[in-house]
Amino acid sequence: MLWTLLRPVGLVPAALILTTNAAGAEAGKSAGPSEFLLVAQIVLLIAVGRGLGEIMMRVGQPSVIGELLAGIILGPSLLGWIWPEAQAAIFPNTPEQKAMIAGIAQFGILLLLLLTGMETDLKLVRKVGRAAIAISIAGMVVPFACGFALGEFLPDALLPNPQERLVASLFMGTALSISSVKIVAVVVREMNFMRRNVGQIIVATAVIDDTIGWIIIAVIFSLASQGSLDIASVTKSVLGTLAFLAVSFTIGRRLVFQLIRWANDNLVSAAAVISVILLLMSVMSMITHLIGVHTVLGAFVAGILVGESPILTRQIDERLRGLISSFFMPVFFGLAGLSADLTVLRDPDLLMLTGLLVVIASVGKFGGAFVGGTVGGLNGRESLALASGMNARGSTEVIIATIGLSIGVLSQNLFTMIVTMAIVTTMAMPPMLRAALARLPMSAEEKERLEREEFERRGFVANLERPLLAVDESVNATFAAHVAGLIAGMRGLPITVLHIGKRAEEQEKRRGEEVSHEAVVKKAAETVSANSDNDAGSVDVISRTRRAELGETIADEARKGFDLLVVGIAKVAATKDRFDRKVEDIAAKFEGPLAIVAAKGKHLKQPMPEALNILVPVSGSAVSKRGAEVAVALAQAGSGSLRVVYVATTRDKGAQHGRSRGLSQETGILKDTSDLAARYDVDITTTLRVNRAPEAAILREIDTTDVDLVVMGVDRIQADHLSFGGVADAVLRQSKVSVLLVSSGEARQAPSEQG
């Protein structure tokens, strides 16, 4: 196993020999910067960094440690010590050549801050609330004071500009007080503590630390640029920073969301959304530079806003992370390792100062976080886990040190000391945090909350991100818009209304009127917040108009990442066991889940009802559970009643003879549905009807109760036309009340009987 892990690293000497020979030959050709050397440097940093990062992850350490070690190995600390000619040939100390890869690394800093921002969960901070803020403040004040004091007592020889000691001391205080959100989150997630109370507090505290730290760093950059403590300049930088943050998290949040949505919906070129995100990051970085603070603040805030975008699909997110993780991270951290010369630690004084720095950083952060946790209401074990997690500096510290070196606040030796401290504290954190978390018991209240969240995480409605509503000008379309608005309002989902009727353009132009489908969606969504504790009722609605053949229009929209298509058109059913041609054309071009709405009864006169009295049949199958979940969500959102009927999924007489044996299973299924409703605070009425055919049982329940909507979870059946089985077809045609069919995304072979 060890040899398998080390085999790629064993190829490094051969690669170095080949690269050194080629670099020597290249150097003989031209005295200027060499593209060959740039590519060779990138190849070595990525190959060695990713290889060592893989090994680090296998032994329970963050991959960033391996990428830092790659730079240390290839730099003056090791390669330059044992083979200086090779190190000088591959990484020549010429300004032109260094500038080429330094430019990539500098842009890499912005991308790393973009990624850090995307991983910054402000919702988690708001959820944890005051506890995390109080803990974070206490956890930053102590190490900041320690770092500032250390900066004041550092020998002049370690400072590039001893006359600007105040700026260096402020920088040291910030460097020692900040934590690495990424590494903390990785360990907490690995221990399955991300949803535990203490895990959320640890991550939220790290988020606050990071956010405050980057704001301070941005202001310190302004101080360093002035060269002295100028009150007017500092005030300008602070006010500019506050104004930038205020605009970013108000107007900017909506603008970023709209730009990402526009790119996703309108641009057809490859990776268009990623291009827009990179442009947003660059523009915001330039804005922060113009107001006199560092570009990293703009990139970090851009990342937060991008991460909050409700339509950032997993595919886009993974592509962007893949680009940063596979290319820019190993290059940047490798270059940071190259800049650190550990051979200077042979000096006993510097070695002692580095050890002192590690101790002060660890004690300050650990002690501050522990005290903060205690003051914030955590018990001793929880405070110990919090303090253990906060002591990791990781990638954040290295970025800060690199900025400090580039703006002249840190000397080369002090940079090396800080990188060493970052490596030591980061490697010590994972085992400490794992040990601390392993000893934390779970309370009954926390266990109940985790079970509820786990149930919701596996659910259908809870995982919806972006519904599409396809409608014409009919009354049924208005009712479908009302249903779609209730679904979207549950979690504030953005929704697109696609007009596909004969007067599509006219309908799209009316989107601002009270009677428009867009207005119906918004009004329904607003009722969600009025009828429940959910404050996500406001939804963003945009309109699109059919411009081509129906199937082509649906196919174009489907490519934009919608995960539910709600269909509301005048005619749903055609001849016996066949849907209308329009419905079939729509379903044929959309592979995801469908929600087909058929308004009947009073909903034809009142398509925007104040409440929905819902009937949902269940059989225990996965698809019937999906129907039950949608029904429960609609009942909660629409402030209506919910009736659940258990129906048999087979007419096999043998099953009827075994009714008593299966009774416990039937009641168990009803209990599961009752538990689901209880999680959403919805009262339900349950009924057993196992002695009838499923469609007969459902229709009987409709006739004998006051329900006005039937919600059925159905499977698509593999056939030459759209089919959900005989039961769904019978209910759709014979029901006197409205019907909502919620289908799975994939077609299945026809069972003996559909339930």
- At residue 374, the pLDDT reads 84
Higher per-residue confidence, 196 vs 69:
69
Which residues are within 8 A (CB) of 244 and not within 5 positions of it... i.e. 6 or more apart? 287, 288, 291, 297, 298, 301
Higher pLDDT, 15 or 87: 87
Name the pLDDT band for 596 (thresholds 50, 70, 90).
very high
Over residues 608-617, the pLDDT tens digits come to: 888 889 998 8
User: Residue 652: which residues within 8 A CB-CB, separation 6 or more?
Assistant: none
Q: Is 496 helix (H, G, I), strand (E, B) or coil?
A: strand
Lowest mean pLDDT among 162-171, 178-187, 706-715: 178-187
Q: What is the pLDDT of residue 385?
A: 84
Residue 753 has a pLDDT of: 42
Token pair, residue 394, equals: 């990781």
Instruction: Look at the block and give the residue holding tokens 């005989």.
Output: 726
Q: What are phi and psi of 195, to 5 degrees?
A: -105, 0
Torsion region of 341: left, alpha or beta (phi above 0 gives left; psi -120 to 50 gives alpha) = beta
The pLDDT tens digits of the residues spanning 68-91 come to: 888 889 888 888 888 888 888 888
Q: Please identify which residue in the block is written with the tokens 């479908």.
A: 480
Q: Is 68 helix (H, G, I), strand (E, B) or coil?
A: helix
- Written as one string, the DSSP assignment of 93-152 is --HHHHHHHHHHHHHHHHHHHHHHHHT--HHHHHHHTHHHHHHHHHHHHHHHHHHHHHHH
Confidence at residue 2, expressed as pLDDT on a 0 to 100 scale? 46
The pTM (predicted TM-score) of the whole model is 0.73
pLDDT score recorded for residue 476: 93
Lowest-pLDDT range, 72-81, 579-588, 683-692?
A: 683-692
The pLDDT of residue 530 is above 70 = no
At 340 the pLDDT is 83
Rounded to whole angstroms, the Cα distance separating 688 from 662 reads 12
Starting at the edge strand found earlier in the chain, the sheet holding 564-568 runs 541-545, 495-499, 467-471, 564-568, 594-598, 738-748, 709-717, 613-618, 641-647, 684-689
Select the more confidently predicted residue: 573 or 504: 573
d(CA 500, CA 583): 11
**Who wins on pLDDT, 740 or 195?**
740
Question: What is the dihedral sign for C-alpha 10, 14, 17, 22?
Answer: negative
Under 8 Å CB-to-CB from 179, ≥6 apart: which residues? 205, 206, 209, 210, 365, 389, 390, 391, 392, 393, 396
CATH topology classification for 445-594: Rossmann fold (3.40.50)
Q: Do domains 94-438 and 611-755 have the same CATH topology?
A: no
Whether the pLDDT of residue 229 is over 60: the answer is no
Element (H, E) at 595: strand 594-598
**Residue 278: predicted pLDDT:** 92
- How, if at all, do strands 641-647 and 467-471 pair? unpaired
pLDDT of res. 20: 61
Runs of H (alpha helix) within 490-590: 504-509, 517-531, 550-558, 581-588
State how far the Cα of 677 lies from the Cα of 711, in Å rounded to an integer.
15
Q: What is the mean pLDDT of residues 533-542?
A: 66
Report the distance separating Cα 648 and Cα 693, nearest Å.
Answer: 7
CA distance 729 to 727: 5
In this model, does residue 150 exceed pLDDT 60? yes
Name the residue with higher pLDDT: 442 or 82. 82
Q: Comparing 605 with 436, which gets the higher pLDDT? A: 605
Are 288 and 295 spatial neighbours (Cβ–Cβ below 8 Å)? yes
CA angle, residues 656, 658, 664, in degrees to nearest 5: 110
Q: How far apart are CA 660 and CA 467, in angstroms?
A: 42
Average pLDDT over every residue of 347-374: 87
- DSSP state letters, 308-339: H-TT--HHHHHHHHHHIIIIIHHHHHHHHHHH
What pLDDT, on the 0 to 100 scale, is given for residue 599? 93
Mean pLDDT, rounded, of the chain: 80
pLDDT at 314: 66
94-438: CATH topology is: Na+/H+ antiporter like fold (1.20.1530)
Residue 303 or 752, more confident:
303
State the Cα–Cα distance between residues 418 and 416, nearest whole angstrom: 6
* Whether the predicted pLDDT of 511 surpasses 70: no
Residue 63: predicted pLDDT = 82
Higher pLDDT, 502 or 153: 153
CA distance 724 to 410: 69
Percent of the chain scored above 90 by pLDDT?
9
Q: Which of 106-115, 346-355, 451-460 has the weakest average pLDDT?
A: 451-460
Look at residue 31 and tell me whether its pLDDT is greater than 60.
no
Q: Provide the 8-state DSSP code for 647.
A: E
Checking if the pLDDT of 731 tops 70, the result is yes
Domain boundaries, the chain: 94-438, 445-594, 611-755
State how far the Cα of 397 lies from the Cα of 387, in Å rounded to an integer: 17
Does 753 or 215 have the greater pLDDT score? 215
Superfamily (CATH H level) for 611-755 = HUPs (3.40.50.620)
Does the pLDDT of residue 720 top 70, yes or no? yes
- CA dist 334 and 336 (Å) reads 5
Return the number of other C-beta atoms located less than 10 Å from residue 491's C-beta.
Answer: 18
What distance in Å separates the CA atoms of residue 127 and residue 114, rounded to the nearest whole number?
Answer: 23
Cβ 546 vs Cβ 498: under 8 Å: yes
Confidence of residue 658 (pLDDT cuts 50, 70, 90): very low
* Mean pLDDT within 364-391: 83
φ/ψ (deg, to 5) at 747: -80, 145
Between 191 and 557, the higher pLDDT residue: 557
Confidence of residue 755 (pLDDT cuts 50, 70, 90): very low
Beta carbons of 643 and 684 less than 8 angstroms apart: yes
- Name the more confident of 147 and 180: 147
Predicted confidence at residue 711, as pLDDT, reads: 92
Name the residue among 464, 607, 465, 610 with its Cα closest to residue 527.
Answer: 610
Q: What is the DSSP letter of 736?
A: S
What pairing do the DSSP bridges indicate for beta strands 564-568 and 467-471? Answer: parallel
252-274 pLDDT, tens digit each: 998 998 898 888 888 877 778 88
Q: Indicate the Cα dihedral angle 304, 306, 309, 314, nearest 10°.
A: -110
Residue 14, pLDDT score: 56
Q: Which pLDDT does position 676 carry in this prediction? A: 72
| pLDDT-above-70 percentage for the chain | 82
CA 307 to chain centroid, in Å, comes to: 6
Q: What is the mean pLDDT of residues 659-684?
A: 65
Q: What is the pLDDT of residue 277?
A: 92
What mean pLDDT do residues 145-160 have? 88
3-state secondary structure (DSSP) of residue 722: coil
pLDDT at 454 over 80: no
- Residues in a beta bridge with 467: 564
The mean pLDDT of 477-495, rounded to a whole number, is 89
